[in-house]
Structure 1
Amino acid sequence: MLEIRYFAGARAAAGCSSERIAAESLDDLATVLAERHGERLALVLKAASFLVDGLSCHDRQAALPAGATVDVLPPFAGG
């Protein structure tokens, strides 16, 4: 199981700040989360950045370690 933590717009789209999900990769995770929370979160996930155990992960097909914490960070405005 993975600990998923949502921030900013991802939190609003998911309707919660965190949850536990089983997934093999970020692509798999995005599919599971979109099925669970709907199109609004699916759109956020397409543009989101992900931290896996605090490290940026750009390979959405890479295997996720069991028990990892995945932070979902939507694009932020500002400068």
Structure 2
Amino acid sequence: MTSPTTNSTTGVSTVNVRYFAAARAAAGVSEEPAPGGIGLDELVDVLGIRHGERLATVLKVASFLVNGVVRHDRRQPLPPDATVDVLPPFAGG
């Protein structure tokens, strides 16, 4: 059975990327699908190319949660169906 986030034609898995705060403003969307099976470093490159320099700049300083857990190994492939939260640094008091 094919997962709902796997393209049945190509078999390529995807993840759901959710943007918060400045990342949302820079991306222009609150969430979107992105390629799965790649590491966070590669995902950052894909998203920067997709949305331009403004988002690429935010992604350089953002933290990432994968399925609600901080991901330290940015080369480890993202699991199919994962939710990746992009959390830029927050200001405030």
Alignment of 1:1-79 (within 5 A): 1-23=14-36, 24-79=38-93
Q: What's the Cα RMSD here?
A: 0.8
Give the TM-score of the pair, scaled to structure 1: 0.96
Answer 1 or 2: which has greater helix percent. Answer: 1
User: With CA pairs under 8 Å and 6+ residues apart, which has the higher RCO, 1 or 2?
Assistant: 1
SS in 1 for 2:17: strand
Q: List runs of 5+ in structure 1 lacking aligned partners.
A: none
Q: Give the fraction of aligned pairs with identical amino acids, expressed as a percent.
A: 63
1:15-66 residue CA offsets vs partner (Å, 9 max, x unmatched): 0000001041101100100010000000100000000000011221111111
- What is the number of equivalent residue pairs in this alignment? 79
Give the TM-score of the pair, scaled to structure 2: 0.82
Structure with greater Cα Rg: 2
